[in-house]
Amino acid sequence: MQRVLVMGSSGSGKSTFARRLSGIAGLPFVSLDALYWKPGWVASDNAEFGHRVAEVARQPQWVMDGNFMRHGAGELRRQSSDTVIWFDLPRRTCMLGITKRIFTTYGEVRPEMAEGCPEKIDFEFFRYVWTYRQAQRPKLLDYFSGLRADQQLVCFTERAQADDYLRQIASRRNRASMH
């Protein structure tokens, strides 16, 4: 596991998981949100964003958090990864996740966000998460169908599965470091 994509709905816990996996596995953490957004929530243009992602995707190791499949960078990331971790959690879990996040970090810039992009209340974002399973999940399933046989797809349908996975990775790393 050297190049890991972590994908799924906002509010699913994927960014927290990706940062934790990065620390446990000793792999650099990359946030696609931080690469895409400019201060003041200004979107990068597709070519600029694609160039940034290509630079990172060429690196030998990373844990990359985010979806962004439509910006031309999705295919390169899929080809470059050896592991894809998918948070396929229920709508209510993701809605509760973003609501909790807004209440606890409102006005602050979260660690995975670009500088100058503080947490805010955004009703379009709520709609995006509400409709994620209907609108985005089929696109992810199509994206995953393009994985090669040598790539691993790990799917979590509950946050507890993600926590268990991290414990297993940490345990394996601890055992390996003892020998």
Angle at 8 between CA 4 and CA 14, to 5 degrees: 65
Per the domain annotation, does 29 fall within a domain? yes
Q: Which CATH number is 109's domain given?
A: 3.40.50.300
Name the phi and psi angles at 177, rounded to 5. -75, -20
Per the domain annotation, does 165 fall within a domain? no
Per the domain annotation, does 101 fall within a domain? yes
Q: How confident is the model at residue 71 (pLDDT cuts 50, 70, 90)?
A: low
Beta-bridge partners for 5: 64, 84
Per the domain annotation, does 173 fall within a domain? no
Per the domain annotation, does 15 fall within a domain? yes
Per the domain annotation, does 77 fall within a domain? yes
Residue located via tokens 């940034």: 52
**What is the average pLDDT score of the chain?**
92
Spatial distance between the Cα atoms of 157 and 141, rounded to a whole number of angstroms = 14
Domain around 28: 3-160
Spatial distance between the Cα atoms of 145 and 151, rounded to a whole number of angstroms = 11
- CB contact at 8 A, 44 and 122: no
The token pair that represents 110 in the structure block: 């979260």
Number of domains in the chain: 1
Is residue 8 scored above 80 in pLDDT?
yes
Spatial distance between the Cα atoms of 138 and 178, rounded to a whole number of angstroms = 43
Mean pLDDT over 127-136 rounds to: 94
What size, in residues, is the chain?
179
Residue 91: which of 133, 140, 141 has the closest Cα?
133
Mean pLDDT over 135-161 rounds to: 95
- CB contact at 8 A, 58 and 3: no
Per the domain annotation, does 105 fall within a domain? yes
What is the model's pLDDT at position 81?
A: 96
57 Cβ contact partners less than 8 Å away, ≥ 6 residues apart: 3, 64, 73, 76, 77, 80
Spatial distance between the Cα atoms of 158 and 93, rounded to a whole number of angstroms = 9
